[in-house]
A and B are shown apart, each in its own frame.
Chain A
Amino acid sequence: MKIAEDSPPVLTALDRPNSYLGRSVPRPNLNRLTQGRGQYVSDVVLPRMSHVAFVRSPHAHARIVTIVTEKARQSPGVIAVVTGAELAKVMTPWVGVLTHLKGLKSAPQAPIAIERACWQGEAVCAVVARTRAEAEDACELVEIAYEELLAVTDPEAALDANTPVIHASLGDNLCFERKLDVGSVDSAFGESEAVVEATFRFGRHTGVTNEPRAIVADWNEGEQRMTVYQGTQAPHMMQNLFAKHLGLAEHQVRVLTKDVGGSFGIKVHTYADEMATVALSKLLKRPVKFVADRIESFVTDIHARDHRIKAKIGVSKDGTITAFEIDDLTGIGPYSVYPRTSGIEANQIVNLVGGPYKCPNYRAQARVVFQNKNVMCQYRAVGHPIAVAVTEGLVELAAAKIGMDPLELRRRNLIPDDAYPTQSAAGLKFELLSHHEALAHLDSMMNYAGLRAEQKKLREQGVYRGIGFASFIEVTNPSAAFYGVGGARITSMDGATVKLDAQGGIIVHTGVTEQGQGAEAVVAQCVASSFGVPIDRVRVITGDTDNTPYGGGTWASRAAGIGGEAAWQAGKALRENVLAVAGAMLQAKPEELDIRKGIVVDKASGTERLPLEELARVAYFRPDTLPPGFQAELMATRHYVPRAWPFAFTNGIQASYLEVDVETGFVKLLKHWCVEDCGTIINPQLVDEQIRGGVVQGIGAALFEHCIYDERGQLLNGNMADYLVPMAAEMPDIECGHVVSPTADSELGAKGAGEAGTAGAPGSVMNAINDALRPLGAAPLTDMPFTPDKILRALGKV
């Protein structure tokens, strides 16, 4: 392990001449985005394209008595008005369960509600018209009679005997339950010097991708093929699901994903309105486009993080953590989301609490219940921000209680850097982490001692600043253990096909997708390095199920670690193929040749022998001049899937420095630091920008973001004026640092970095606020988001 410099030296095993690994190479194709010449799905226009708008339930729970569509059908521009019952003839329903989450249950969900609407915003009727405006006009004319049913909105009451059961066929409102009891929790608490208990609450919030969900489905009746342009993270998964529920073979469905205006886990799920759009195209035999407007996004994009956790920590006099205990309750809406389910978030929380620490005693209970609100599912850093905030909140409350510095308490409890391989109390397997080195790096990077001195001095002047930390672990590079073993057709594998073109250029097709994180750059860097060409000769193609190797796409921080390794291996394989051609042309041994900067050279001396342009010319146009029986193979495919470890865990630590205005309750963020260890860093700039973007998303959760529902299940702030997101003026500069502990499971050694920022930011901000207010005797704040009114209440001012 070592601290990475700004431009870390390339690791020796990967150190090829003209290597791009470890360099901040700018992403290819950014110019089209800065010039406004990208192609997002919302930009796609096809011949005969129609637009769908949905009439959505105004009630959280209601029986649909009648739907009268006559007036709507006669509205100008209208092509069709389609109800759930009519669409059910084209598309089968789905159930979001995974077999490895034992006992998880859900009810069948249809693309458009049939007989009953189960949340405010569920689509009840579709109107297809020549333009979106005409479709919306006609939506106003659809007459629907509802019989309002009692809405289940409070998770605490969802399992009570007198609460209505949302899906009678399921018997109760319990979706999933998990219990864990490791070590001797009760005796550990009994022998503790101090036990701290707190109830943490996390406001339900959502991804707010800048481009809303968008899809264009084009059923060609002549070809019997469905082409879907979709802003998705997982084209092959969606290909499978569209085919399955339309009764088609997978090869009859092509999913195309070009530019995507932000994903963050929002665009990796099955959405009823998107399934309906695909089914409508099949029904109407023409392209149908759906772009969610912002209000639709708020009531239908998956929500996340709505958890209430009662938590407890024990510490001994010397600061040793003796035990953790949590009781998690979460309401996930009326359906478990298909196909990844809505049980994963709670399951992750159970897995991750206490994860950085060597404490062997841990008890957890999690209950996931149905309710009549929009569905919840996996959003960036699934479960991590909650598990980290609970763990780190407890750690700092315990440190305060026994009067120990919070970093010192961590030093005494974090798993030692020389203890690997090891596993956590919850059973997570760690190959190699670096908690202590990361902590030491953070300590010096932020000048902790200096900040404490400044904080003390300012307190005497009535200025209340706080410093808060959060150590964390992050799940990345998932193997089949995440979804495949549970029966979902979501591959953990990814592939890359690398081809030498006739001018010596390189075309790469990859199964991972570009959501703006820079996957194309990482794949290009890997291939350019392992094959041996300047990076500007590499073109990367993503997001086309007809043309790219089968792959999982982009989620759970897998694109660089898994897709990058496949690309690296494919580049190597093509190099061997090309050197075989060079050997034949030069009458040399291929193993004594190499490719550097696009030129075949003598490996030992570096003497230039043959430009790739000339090799390609001969191989493609004058193969007759090659030795008899020799066949040039100028395309190679390699796949990679992690096998040795279920997940490549990463680790890190964040710190927040902020000031609380004790008169107004406003929090001013002054600075934020994050040190993380994602193994081999392929592109330092892209890693840092993943961290920074993730941190700000986590800050949003800590301070602003909240989908506020009333007791009848009505979302009260479904627009961007009332639902607050982080904007530039309120955000701090964010400093990043790195420790490098590569995984030995791949040659590259890269782990993921997409979720570290979001995982640790809310906990560190919470701890900093409580650190700022501690001298004023305020009760600890544990109810996110920490809005000014909550802070003033904690201070007893309102």
Chain B
Amino acid sequence: MSDHAVEVSMIVNGERLRQRVDPRRTLVDFLREDLALTGSHVGCEHGVCGACTVRVNGEIVRGCLMLAVQCDGAEVETIEGLSDSGEVADLQSAFEQRNALQCGFCTPGMITAAQDLLKRSARVPSRDAIRNHLSGNYCRCTGYHAIVDAVEAVAQQRASGRK
């Protein structure tokens, strides 16, 4: 840690923490290396691939385009937190049943982005709308078809559960 380290406070997956961090540390490096939350992945370090997608104050962000110091006072949620709370359990189950992941490297970001879409509206999105919403998350393995199927299936399940 350099002489320039500053203290930040945040709530990560419901746990309150206070920690010194280099101002140049990205959020995803902070999560992975300082907090050992390795479910958020580093793919492009450029804001393109979406493997580092996490939630800050309820909005999805790129963990590689945000600095940890910018999260001072914020509430941060990662795939570990979303898993433990059960919030995305149906998406996870659908991804597994539909084989909507192969290597799994994009999956935490993909599920976080999909949950963002499904939370926004109670209506079942079209396949095109699902594709558009996930178009910032790169998957090299699946060709996306299975991911769209899985998200669509969960959207329908949730909609019918609400009726």
How many Å lie between the Cα of A729 and that of B148 in the bound state?
Answer: 10
Q: Are A719 and B44 in contact (CB under 8 A)?
A: yes
Q: How far is the CB of A467 from chain B (nearest CB, A)?
A: 20
Q: Which residue of A lies closest to B94 (CB)?
A: A34
How many Å lie between the Cα of A38 and that of B83 in the bound state?
Answer: 13
Q: Are A211 and B108 in contact (CB under 8 A)?
A: no
Which residues, 100 to 137 on B, are CB-close (under 8 Å) to A? 101-108, 111, 127-128, 130-132, 134-137
Q: Which residue of B lies closest to A134 (CB)?
A: B2
A693 with B49, Cβ < 8 A, contacts A211-B41, A720-B44, A728-B148 known: no
A693 with B141, Cβ < 8 A, contacts A43-B38, A211-B103, A515-B103 known: yes
How many Å lie between the Cα of A93 and that of B73 in the bound state?
Answer: 53
Q: Which residue of B lies closest to A33 (CB)?
A: B104
Give the most central of B36, B43, B143: most A CB within 10 Å. Answer: B143
Q: CB of A261 within 8 A of chain B? A: yes
Residues on B with C-beta less than 8 A from A515 are 102-103
Residues on A with C-beta less than 8 A from B144 are 696, 726-728, 731
User: When each residue 44-82 of chain B gets 1 if its CB lies under 8 Å from chain A and 0 otherwise, what string results?
Assistant: 111111010000000000000000000000000011100
Residues on A with C-beta less than 8 A from B105 are 40, 210-211, 261-262
Q: How far is the CB of B34 from chain A (nearest CB, A)?
A: 11
Residues on B with C-beta less than 8 A from A734 are 143, 145
How many Å lie between the Cα of A721 and that of B80 in the bound state?
Answer: 28
How many Å lie between the Cα of A45 and that of B101 in the bound state?
Answer: 25
Q: Are B103 and A259 in contact (CB under 8 A)?
A: yes
Residues on A with C-beta less than 8 A from B46 are 294, 719-721
Q: Which residue of B lies closest to A266 (CB)?
A: B140
How many Å lie between the Cα of A733 and that of B105 in the bound state?
Answer: 22
Q: How far is the CB of B27 from chain A (nearest CB, A)?
A: 15
Residues on B with C-beta less than 8 A from A210 are 41, 43, 49, 51, 103, 105-106, 138-141
A294 with B45, Cβ < 8 A, contacts A211-B105, A260-B103 known: yes
Which among A27, A294, A696 is the interface contact of B143 at CB below 8 angstroms?
A696
Q: How far is the CB of B111 from chain A (nearest CB, A)?
A: 7
Q: Are B147 and A36 in contact (CB under 8 A)?
A: no
Which among A42, A208, A693 is the interface contact of B102 at CB below 8 angstroms?
A693
A38 with B104, Cβ < 8 A, contacts A729-B131, A733-B145 known: yes
Residues on B with C-beta less than 8 A from A40 are 38, 41, 105
Which residues, 2 to 18 on B, are CB-close (under 8 Å) to A? 2
Could you tell me how many residues of chain A have their Cβ less than 8 Å away from some Cβ of chain B? 57
Residues on A with C-beta less than 8 A from B127 are 733
Which residues, 24 to 46 on A, are CB-close (under 8 Å) to B? 26-27, 30-31, 33-40, 42-43, 45
Q: Are B143 and A35 in contact (CB under 8 A)?
A: no
How many Å lie between the Cα of A208 and that of B103 in the bound state?
Answer: 13
Q: CB of A692 within 8 A of chain B? A: yes
User: When each residue 712-736 of chain A gets 1 if its CB lies under 8 Å from chain B and 0 otherwise, what string results?
Assistant: 0000000111000111111101100
Q: How far is the CB of A117 from chain B (nearest CB, A)?
A: 24
Q: How far is the CB of A465 from chain B (nearest CB, A)?
A: 18
Q: How far is the CB of B127 from chain A (nearest CB, A)?
A: 7
Q: CB of B142 within 8 A of chain A? A: yes
Q: How far is the CB of A305 from chain B (nearest CB, A)?
A: 16
Q: How far is the CB of B88 from chain A (nearest CB, A)?
A: 8
Q: CB of A6 within 8 A of chain B? A: no
A sample of 15 inter-chain contacts (CB < 8 A) reads: A30-B96, A30-B99, A34-B104, A35-B79, A210-B51, A259-B103, A261-B104, A294-B45, A719-B44, A719-B46, A719-B48, A720-B43, A727-B135, A729-B135, A731-B144
B residues bordering A, Cβ < 8 Å?
Answer: 2, 22, 24, 32, 36-49, 51, 78-80, 83, 91-92, 95-97, 99, 101-108, 111, 127-128, 130-132, 134-148
